[in-house]
Structure 1
Amino acid sequence: MVTKYRTAEAVTPGHPDKLCDLISDMVLDDMLAHDPHAHVAAETCAAGDTVMVFGEINSHDGHKPNVGSIVRHAFRTVGYTDPSYGATADGVRVIDGMRAQSAEIDAAVGDADGAGDQGVMVGHATGATETMLPPETELARQLAARLWEARANGIGWLRPDGKTQVTLQVDGGRTALDSILISTQHDPGMTPAAIRGCVSMYIVDPVLAAHPELDAADWRLDVNPSGSFVLGGPEGDAGLTGRKIVVDQYGPSIPVGGGAFSGKDPSKVDRSAAYMARHIAVSLVHARLCHEATVRLAYGIGIAEPTDVSVDTHGTGIADDAILSAAVRDVFDLTPRGIIDALDLRRPIYADTALHGHFGRPELPWERPSDPGILRSAVEARL
C-alpha cells in the first residue's frame, strides 16, 4: 500500500488576509442590517498603518457604511490595540473607496433572479469526521482556534497573528499524524523554548487529546521554525481580501472553484452557491447515500438555473453519481433566489464566518442537513 500525505493549513483572525476578510464582511453586514436586499462587493487591502476599502454597493435606502468606524472595530476585534504591535485601531489610516454598483450588473442580477457572476463552486463533506471536514483541515482549524482562544484566555505574550499546518499520513484505512507546524506572533523577549513549551502544553496537547482515533505515535512538532515572530499583522505583511480561499474551504485535497467569499452579498454565487454545495454534500452524507461527496455547481451571470450540477462520491455512493446528481436537481432549488431563501442568507451573519470559519459549524444554516427521507426518495425514483 502506498502512503499518501495530506496537508492543510489555517490562520488566526489576526492574520492580515483574515483581517481584510473580516473588514469586508463587516461592511457587508452593515449593509444587510439596513437593507437585506443590498448588493455588496467589498474588497479590503491593508499594509502598515493604512487600510483601503473599495468596491461596489447598492441598496434601496441609499445607505453608505461608515468605513472608518468599521475598520477600527475590526482592528479592535482581532486585538490590534497595542501601539507596540504597529498598526492599531486608533492609529490606522483609512481610505474609503466604496462606490455605487454598476447599473449593468444591477440590471442583470435584479433581485437575485439571475446569478451575480459566472463561476464554478464546490462543496464537500466526508463521514470521516464529526464536522464532515477532511481530517487534516479539521485539525489545522482546531489548532488555530485553540491558539486564538489561548490569547483571549490569558496567555498575554501571544499576539494576534498566527498560522497552523497539519500533515497526515494515509495508508489504506490507517491515518497517522506526520507533523504539526505552528507559527505564532509573540511579544519580544520570549525564548524559543518557552514558546514551544507553552504551545505544546496549551495548544497542541489538548487538540490531540480530543482525537484518540489518530495514530500519533511518531510525529514532529515545529514551532516558529523561522525564528522570532514579533512583527505581524498588516505591519509585517500586506493583507488582502480573498487570499485565503483554500483555508476558507476544505484544504488543498479538495478542488476549489476559485471565487472568494468575504465581502460578497448572497446574490454572488461565489458565496451563496458554495454554501449550497456544502449543504448538499452534507445532506448526501447525512442521508447515508454516500460516505464522501464533492458537489460542483456552475452558473452564468444573469442566468438563474445552474449550467452544471455534478456529484462525485469517490466510489462511496449507493447509486451511480449521475443518479445522485439528477436527484439533487430534483430536490434542491438551485437558483440564486432559491438558495438565498432556503439558507436564509439575507442577514448580517458574515463577519462571524470571517472570524471563525465558513464550514464545520453546526450553527450555520448550510451545515444543517436537509430531510434525508426526501433525498432518499428522489434517488429511489431515479433508479
Structure 2
Amino acid sequence: MSDFIFTSESVTEGHPDKICDQISDAVLDALLTEDPESRVACETVVNTGLCLLTGEITSKAKVDYIKLVRNVIKEIGYEGYRAGGFDANSCAVLVALDEQSPDISQGVNEADDVNDDLEDNTGAGDQGIMFGYACDETPELMPLPISLAHRLAIQLAKVRHENVLNYLLPDGKTQVSIDYEKGLPVSINTILISTQHNPEIDGLTNEEEIRQKIKEDLWKHVVIPATQDLEIKPNIIKTRFLVNPTGKFVVGGPQGDAGLTGRKIIVDTYGGYARHGGGAFSGKDPTKVDRSAAYAARYVAKSIVKAKLAKKAEVQLSYAIGVAKPISILVETFDTGVISQANLTELIKKYFDLRPAAIIKEFDLRNLPKKRGGKFFRKTASYGHFGRRDLDLPWEKVEEKAAQLAEASKVFL
C-alpha cells in the first residue's frame, strides 16, 4: 500500500503516565550519579493525591526519595492553582523498594557465553527482543508523524511554562495524521490537541466559547511555531484541526486518570511506525537490555540510513538473560536498501559490538547522569528517546559509524 494516512500521538510531561516515567528516571539519575554501578528497576504509580515508588534497587547511593518525587512533580507544574488534586507539596509519597534478586544479579555479572578478559562480558539483564528504526522522512531520521506530534507536545508545554497561555494546565496530548502518496509524506491531514485548562478563561465561561478561544490560541502559539521549519506545513484550510473534541478538559492529571511507568512505549519510540519489542525504558539501569539494546538498535538503524545504504531500516536484536552476545540480529530495509540485507547484517556484526557492557561503554550510560548534572535519563522520559533535537544523545551520533558502513559497503556494490 503506497497511498495511506498514518497517525502517531505524543503526550506532555504532565500526562499521568509521563509523570511516572519522569519520576522513575529521576530516581535512576540520582542513584547513578552517586553510584554508577547501581542496579535499578523503579516503577511509579500516581493517582489523586498519591505517588507510590516500588521496584528493586541495589545501590550504595543514599537518596531522599520523597524529596526527589516532590521536586519532579513541582517542576512538571503540579503546584498551586495548577495542581488539580495532585499537589507536589501535599500528595502522599509511599516508598516500597526492594533489592535486586541475587539470581538475576549473578547472571548479569557473569555471562556464560564468553571467555575473554573484558568487563564487557556482562550478561543481559533479561531475555527479550528490541527494535530500532530510522528513515529519511525528517532531518533527524525519524518518521514524520511522531516527530511532529512530539514537536507539538513540546511547544504546548513551553507556552504553559512560559505563561504565554496562562490558563493551560499540565496534562495534554497531541496526535498527527500524515497523508502519504507512493510511500512518501505529502501533507498534514489532521492535527488533534487535547489540553487541560482552567474552567474559566479570560472571563469566558461558555464551553464552546472557551474551546474556540483555546483553538485559536493553540494554532497561533503552538501549531505555527512547532512547524515553521518543516517542508510540510499545516494548511489552515486543508488541515483538519481538532482541539478538545469533548468540549472541555478541566479535570486531568492523576486526578483524572491513574498513571504508571512504562505505559507510553509507542510514544517513547516511533509512534507505531516500526515494531516494538514490548519492554519499557524508564526506571531501568543500563544493564537492562530493554533500554540499552533498544538504544543500540536505533544507533545501528540510523547509521544505515545516514550512510545512505537504505531509505528505511529496522533492526531487531534478541537477548537471553545472563548471555552477553545477542541471540539474533535481523535487519529489514523494506526494499529500499542498496545492498542485500544479508550483507548489511554482516557489516553490523563487524562494526557494532552489541554486548550489553559494550553498549553501556560506547554510550557512557553509567556516567552520563553525573556528567549532565544529575539529569540525563529523566530528560528522555518525555517527548521521546529518539530523534531529539534538544538533547545531546550518544545513540543519535552516527556520523562515524555511518562513514565506516558507507566505506565498507563498497565491496558489495
| Shared fold (TM-score, shorter chain, > 0.5) | yes
**Does the residue aligned with 2:6 lie in a helix, a strand or coil?**
strand
Tell me, in whole angstroms, the C-alpha distance in 2 between the residues paired with 1:276 and 1:364.
Answer: 12
- Residue in structure 1 matching 2:196, options 176, 182, 185: 185
1:308 to partner: Cα distance:
1.2
- Residue in structure 2 matching 1:122, options 123, 131, 150: 131
Amino acid at match of 2:66: G
Bigger mean CA deviation after superposition, 166-175 or 18-27: 166-175
Tell me, in whole angstroms, the C-alpha distance in 2 between the residues paired with 1:330 and 1:5.
Answer: 38
In structure 1, the residue matched to 2:86 is 87
Residue 167 (structure 2) pairs with residue 161 (structure 1): no
Tell me, in whole angstroms, the C-alpha distance in 1 between the residues paired with 2:379 and 2:283.
Answer: 12
In structure 1, the residue matched to 2:397 is 368
Say if 1:331 and 1:378, in contact at 8 Å, map to a contact too: no
**Does the residue aligned with 1:159 lie in a helix, a strand or coil?**
strand
Tell me, in whole angstroms, the C-alpha distance in 1 between the residues paired with 2:382 and 2:46.
Answer: 17
Residue 384 (structure 2) pairs with residue 357 (structure 1): yes
In structure 2, the residue matched to 1:68 is 66
1:67 to partner: Cα distance:
1.6
Say if 1:8 and 1:136, in contact at 8 Å, map to a contact too: yes
Say if 1:330 and 1:378, in contact at 8 Å, map to a contact too: no
- Residue in structure 2 matching 1:175, options 186, 197, 200: 186
In structure 2, the residue matched to 1:138 is 147
1:37 to partner: Cα distance:
1.2
1:195 to partner: Cα distance:
0.8
1:230 to partner: Cα distance:
1.0
Amino acid at match of 2:220: M
1:357 to partner: Cα distance:
2.6
Unaligned runs of 5+ in 1: none
- Residue in structure 2 matching 1:280, options 285, 300, 306: 300
**Does the residue aligned with 1:168 lie in a helix, a strand or coil?**
strand
Tell me, in whole angstroms, the C-alpha distance in 2 between the residues paired with 1:381 and 1:102.
Answer: 48
In structure 1, the residue matched to 2:54 is 54
List structure 1 runs of 4+ shifted beyond 6 angstroms: none
**Does the residue aligned with 1:199 lie in a helix, a strand or coil?**
helix
Residue 118 (structure 2) pairs with residue 107 (structure 1): no
Residue 218 (structure 2) pairs with residue 199 (structure 1): yes
* Cα gap change, 1:214 to 1:201, in 2 (>3 Å): closer
Deviations for 1:49-77, whole angstroms, at most 9, x for unmatched residues? Answer: 11111001112x3x343221111011111
Deviations for 1:27-54, whole angstroms, at most 9, x for unmatched residues? Answer: 1011101111111000001010111110
* Cα gap change, 1:315 to 1:247, in 2 (>3 Å): same
1:95 to partner: Cα distance:
0.8
Bigger mean CA deviation after superposition, 332-341 or 204-213: 204-213
Say if 2:150 and 2:383, in contact at 8 Å, map to a contact too: no
- Residue in structure 1 matching 2:360, options 334, 340, 350: 340
1:376 to partner: Cα distance:
2.8
Equivalenced residues, count? 381
1:209 to partner: Cα distance:
2.9
Unaligned runs of 5+ in 2: 110-118, 202-209, 370-375
Bigger mean CA deviation after superposition, 168-177 or 181-190: 168-177
- For residues 175-324 of structure 1, the aligned pairs below 5 Å read 175-190=186-201, 191-214=210-233, 216=235, 218-324=238-344
1:381 to partner: Cα distance:
5.0
In structure 2, the residue matched to 1:151 is 160
**Does the residue aligned with 2:292 lie in a helix, a strand or coil?**
helix
Tell me, in whole angstroms, the C-alpha distance in 1 between the residues paired with 2:331 and 2:275.
Answer: 13
1:178 to partner: Cα distance:
1.1
Amino acid at match of 2:65: V
Tell me, in whole angstroms, the C-alpha distance in 1 between the residues paired with 2:344 and 2:240.
Answer: 41
1:214 to partner: Cα distance:
4.5
Tell me, in whole angstroms, the C-alpha distance in 1 between the residues paired with 2:411 and 2:128.
Answer: 30
Tell me, in whole angstroms, the C-alpha distance in 2 between the residues paired with 1:340 and 1:299.
Answer: 15
* Cα gap change, 1:204 to 1:138, in 2 (>3 Å): same
Tell me, in whole angstroms, the C-alpha distance in 1 between the residues paired with 2:28 and 2:228.
Answer: 38
Deviations for 1:144-196, whole angstroms, at most 9, x for unmatched residues? Answer: 01101111122211111000000111121452211110000001113111111
1:382 to partner: Cα distance:
6.1
CA RMSD of aligned residues (A): 1.6
1:276 to partner: Cα distance:
0.5
**Does the residue aligned with 1:18 lie in a helix, a strand or coil?**
helix
In structure 2, the residue matched to 1:11 is 11
- For residues 33-44 of structure 1, the aligned pairs below 5 Å read 33-44=33-44
1:365 to partner: Cα distance:
0.4
1:356 to partner: Cα distance:
4.2
Amino acid at match of 2:48: G
Deviations for 1:268-322, whole angstroms, at most 9, x for unmatched residues? Answer: 0000000011111111111111111111111010010001111111111110011
1:211 to partner: Cα distance:
2.0
Give the TM-score of the pair, scaled to structure 2.
Answer: 0.89
Say if 2:326 and 2:354, in contact at 8 Å, map to a contact too: yes
Provide the identity percentage: 43
